[in-house]
Amino acid sequence: EVHLEQSGAEVKKPGTTVKISCKVSGYTFVEYYIHWVKQAPGKGLEWVGLVDPEDGETRYAEKFRGRVTVTADTSADIAYVQLSSLSSEDTAVYFCASVVSGTTHFDSWGQGTPVTVS
Amino acid sequence: EVVLTQSPDTLSLSPGESATLSCRASEIFSSDYLAWLQQKPGQAPRLLIYAASTRATGIPDRFSGSGSGTDFILTISRLEPEDFAVYYCQQYGASPPVSFGQGTRVEIK
């Protein structure tokens, strides 16, 4: 069974950088895309970006382009999202989610990592 | 960019009733790329339906999806207490790869 385990809550100062991890297990890491989704307090879901661990290809939402970096460490089966120049608007829960290569839906989600910028 | 608009924003119903949730897209796309997610407070979203009408593993048959083109529907027949949650439609496409509707909250009347 696919399992995504995220790193713990973060509290950051404005202007700094946060890096969140997503450890995947139960499947072949390179056969899935890993996406990151933001959910601000009381708000809906917002797509941030994705990485294809097989070749490192990344894609980002226009809103976050230039501030976000998504990476994958295939030696440890861990995906990361790094967000820089933090502001209070980045306060949110960030989820990782997996999509089987060749399919079009999220089949598993991490538990979420709360990030507070204050 | 495909924009998904869900309606209504909130649905107030009693257990045992049926719910009909709508998701309208700003442009036509293949139903293969439309999914529905459920989210309960403090939890990660959960996949309910993919390819517009295929139930994910373990999802009860009271959940059903339909639609094509720009209009998609999630129907929940005979609402159970655990079904009161927020529901999102989600599109998997080209650019951007993923977009979500704003969500419909199904609350207990």
The answer on pLDDT for A1 being more than 90 is no
Residue-wise pLDDT tens digits, A84-108? 999 999 999 999 999 988 888 998 9
**What number is the average pLDDT over the span A41-54?**
96
Question: What is the spatial distance between Cα B48 and Cα B58, in angstroms, rounded to a whole number?
Answer: 9
The answer on pLDDT for B95 being more than 90 is no
Q: Out of A37, A105, A110, name the one closest to residue B35 (CB).
A: A105
* CB of B21 less than 8 A from some CB of A: no
8 A C-beta contact, residue A66 and residue A80:
no
* CB of A100 less than 8 A from some CB of B: no
Residue-wise pLDDT tens digits, B64-81? 999 999 999 999 999 999
Cross-strand partners of A32: A100
* pLDDT of amino acid A58: 96
The answer on pLDDT for B94 being more than 80 is no
Average pLDDT, chain A: 95
8 A C-beta contact, residue B28 and residue B2:
no
Question: What is the spatial distance between Cα A42 and Cα B12, in angstroms, rounded to a whole number?
Answer: 19
Concatenated DSSP letters of B88-108: EEEEE-SSSSEEE---EEEEE
* pLDDT of amino acid A100: 87
Contacts of B34 (CB under 8 A, 6+ apart): B23, B50, B51, B52, B65, B67, B72, B89, B90, B91
Chain A contacts of B47, Cβ < 8 Å? 105-107
**What number is the average pLDDT over the span B49-62?**
96
